[in-house]
Structure 1
Amino acid sequence: MKKSLPGPHKQCLARSLAKKIGFSQILQSLQKTLQLDDLQRCKKWLIKHQPSAPQGNALRRLDTLASMAGALIKGGQASLQSIGKHMDDDIDLESRVKKAKRWLKNKWTDSAVHFIPYLSPMLRSVSNSGELVLAIDGSSIGKGCMALMVSLIWRRRAIPICWIVRQAPKGHFPQQMHLDIVNQVAMLLDTIIECPCQVILLGDAEFDGNELQQACLSHGWDYVLKTGKDALLADNPQMLDACPFCHIAPADGKNSLFLPQMYVTKQAFGPVNVLYWHDKTRYERPLYLLTSLEYGPQAEAYYRKRYHIETFFGDIKSRGFHIEDTRISQPDMLSNLLIVASLAFIACILFEFDARRSPHLGKFCRKDRAADLSVFQIGLRAIRYYIRKGLAISFQFSKNFP
């Protein structure tokens, strides 16, 4: 099992970078570097945003990261063979594959160095709105492994922040892992976010544990979490006359019921607000939600955003990079592969700003269908088209973010 964030001794790196790097600087650097017909420029961008000029092995690792991210965008396959095939290094294919594999296995490959510096300006920019909406979910990746991930919800897409990979073909993660990843994200946000900001965590029924709810409250977060129909609730901490959620229902003609200051489970966790919501136009079955928010419709509206994290898994899987098909089975290597996939994903959604307004739009997608395509798909198609035609990839939209 590998966690995507290191120990506290490396938090100073993220804090330093958050102060030094502005979002507009990132975009200006991307304008000069993400012309993927020359992937060495990407390396210069990666180097630029390190706290000090890397040398030796550290420099070589950034070089490999740039090459792998570009290869993943160009090839669309997360297998080592495909990544090696599309890397720009002027060496034999077998040597390129081995180079990518060494990077994934290297003990010095670390998200604090190779991912957080490029994520932090986005987090700071979005936080200026006064709100960060996070979603937690798990999905299978690679051969016999699962990834637990917390992502930022933005423009109907989920931007990965932190993840933990473990060896397990399917099933739920232990609650301790839920706590671990939430605490890691809270630690990261504390080092990056500079202004007061409401944080809301969204999750399905796997994440309705009492300890996770308490962790959210301890960090000053709000939350909206789905729970099961058989979970117990009562209006008193002694759990007298407790009943399962499936026994509650709104008055005739209503599709919702909001119950404030309730207690749930045999451990009588609370007080917590409870929402029954059954909008038959959206949900086949009623939703039973636990929330710290005080207004039922607001809680349901936030919960709907949870589904956007599933679009991220779809984007790095069947709709984009096919990370589920790689034969890699080691959690550490898969965690590092997620660094590459996440950077490639972010590059695509950033380039969508420029691509949607490009005079070449009709060359890589039907204009009458462009509104139906996701931010990621337009960005991905555009980058691949620009690469094929040798066009300059530029960013001129920082004022539009977020």
Structure 2
Amino acid sequence: MHTFCYQSIAKLLLHWLPMQTYTLCLDRTNWQHGQKDINFLVLSIAWEGCSIPIFWELLPKKSNSNSQERIDLMIRCLEVIPADKIECLLADREFIGIKWFQWLMDNNIRFRLRIKGNTPVIGNSGKQIKAWQLFSHLRIGCQETWMTRRTVAGLSLHIGAHRSLKGLLIVVSPNQPDNMVKDYYRRWSIEVLFANLKSHGFDLESTHITDPEKLKKLMAVMAIAVLWCLRVGHWKHGPYNQLPLLSHWRPEKCLFRYGLDLLRRSLKNDFTRQERLFFELLQVLSPTYIGEHYKVVSPPSFRPECL
């Protein structure tokens, strides 16, 4: 059995990504094969409306990760991405806990993390209230951010919220509260990643593999494939935020799908005729490659999606 060095794979992915700083997203994806529960904890890098897995761990349980499992994953990440290169860490409200929050603050990792509405907060009167009560006055479509710190679950944090048709979104951050709520919406990129890994792309759920080590190796292959598809889609069609929109205000396809379709077409058709295209698509992975379809653009801003 071959041994994978996952730190080396992470360095390879970073080499292929044309970025100087990184927005990290943390989430889980899980499925079931027979009576076997497969539960991945994934740390990814947001880029062009999707994200690329950089570190992952197979949890030996069906439920959420604990603080120590998240910390262990982040320690591995800090070995290849210094804290000053991390723009922020984004995670949903299942990734909470005083130990977890305190570790991130102690290691100077900026974060925008969603909290539950019933999280205890010290209000204007100095009394303890629930987080949702601090923003009970917000109307649909409005948002508010406290520039002064509040005591949230015993820690001094900035807090902000946005009320949409789907409910109240509450976000906390240790610093730089400007745009903290807007930044958090980039977390949606990891949901796009999971869809691309599963039903909208590689159909990872259909694998019959249940061995933990083999699944971790398979995720490494998928990480390289996802990045390749994204780079090809970006090379062919430009940045995600410049794709033409349909009547529902979303692009017909994401960059991942454009890249996957082009790669699949180059492999399925007569390879002798498509050989030049395939080898050019290989070169697209190089950060310095400039081809016929490549466009030099400024880093795009992510289109917020409703949660």
Moved over 3 A (4+): 250-254, 293-296, 353-357, 367-371, 397-402
Deviations 1:160-183 (Å, cap 9, x if unpaired)?
Answer: 111111233x32111211111122
Q: CA 1:109–1:233 in 2, change beyond 3 Å: closer, same or farther?
A: same
Residue 112 of structure 1 is aligned with which of 7, 18, 34? Answer: 7
Matched, 1:147 2:34: no
The answer for the alignment partner of 2:95 in structure 1 is 207
Task: Report 1 or 2 for greater relative contact order, CA contacts < 8 Å, sequence distance ≥ 6.
Answer: 1
Q: Which runs of 5+ in 2 are unaligned?
A: 239-243, 285-290, 300-307
Deviations 1:1-43 (Å, cap 9, x if unpaired)?
Answer: xxxxxxxxxxxxxxxxxxxxxxxxxxxxxxxxxxxxxxxxxxx
Residue 149 of structure 2: SS of its match in structure 1? strand
Residue 291 of structure 1 is aligned with which of 163, 167, 173? Answer: 173
CA–CA distance in 2 between the matches of 1:324 and 1:171? 18
Q: Is the 8 A contact 2:39 2:58 kept in 1?
A: yes
The aligned amino acid for 1:163 is W
Deviations 1:248-282 (Å, cap 9, x if unpaired)?
Answer: 226576833323311122xx12x1011122133xx
Q: Is the 8 A contact 2:92 2:115 kept in 1?
A: yes
Residue 174 of structure 1 is aligned with which of 49, 63, 66? Answer: 66
The answer for the alignment partner of 1:66 in structure 2 is none
Q: Give identity over the alignment, percent.
A: 18
Structure with bigger helix share is 1
Q: CA deviation at 1:146?
A: 0.7
Bigger Rg, structure 1 or 2: 1
Q: CA deviation at 1:212?
A: 2.3
CA–CA distance in 1 between the matches of 2:97 and 2:232? 38
1:48-63 pair list within 5 angstroms:
none
Q: CA 1:246–1:117 in 2, change beyond 3 Å: closer, same or farther?
A: closer
The aligned amino acid for 1:343 is I
Q: CA deviation at 1:330?
A: 2.1
Residue 207 of structure 1: SS of its match in structure 2? coil
Structure with bigger strand share is 2
Q: Is the 8 A contact 1:208 1:290 kept in 2?
A: no
* Aligned residue-pair number: 269
Deviations 1:219-257 (Å, cap 9, x if unpaired)?
Answer: 322111011111101169xx9621111222265768333
Q: CA 1:320–1:258 in 2, change beyond 3 Å: closer, same or farther?
A: same
The answer for the alignment partner of 1:220 in structure 2 is 108
Residue 308 of structure 1 is aligned with which of 153, 164, 189? Answer: 189
Q: CA 1:252–1:215 in 2, change beyond 3 Å: closer, same or farther?
A: closer
Alignment TM-score, normalising by the size of structure 2 = 0.78
Residue 135 of structure 2 is aligned with which of 235, 245, 249? Answer: 249
Q: Is the 8 A contact 2:11 2:80 kept in 1?
A: no
Q: CA 1:368–1:294 in 2, change beyond 3 Å: closer, same or farther?
A: closer
Q: Is the 8 A contact 1:355 1:382 kept in 2?
A: no
1:83-102 pair list within 5 angstroms:
102=1
Residue 263 of structure 1 is aligned with which of 126, 151, 156? Answer: 151
Deviations 1:287-313 (Å, cap 9, x if unpaired)?
Answer: 1111124435x0111111001101111
Q: Is the 8 A contact 1:213 1:223 kept in 2?
A: no
The aligned amino acid for 1:246 is W
CA–CA distance in 1 between the matches of 2:91 and 2:218? 24
The answer for the alignment partner of 2:54 in structure 1 is 161
Q: Is the 8 A contact 1:232 1:245 kept in 2?
A: yes
CA–CA distance in 1 between the matches of 2:152 and 2:127? 12
Deviations 1:88-127 (Å, cap 9, x if unpaired)?
Answer: xxxxxxxxxxxxxx5xxx4x223234x234212135x311
RMSD over aligned Cα, in angstroms? 2.8
Matched, 1:377 2:269: no
Residue 203 of structure 2 is aligned with which of 315, 319, 322? Answer: 322
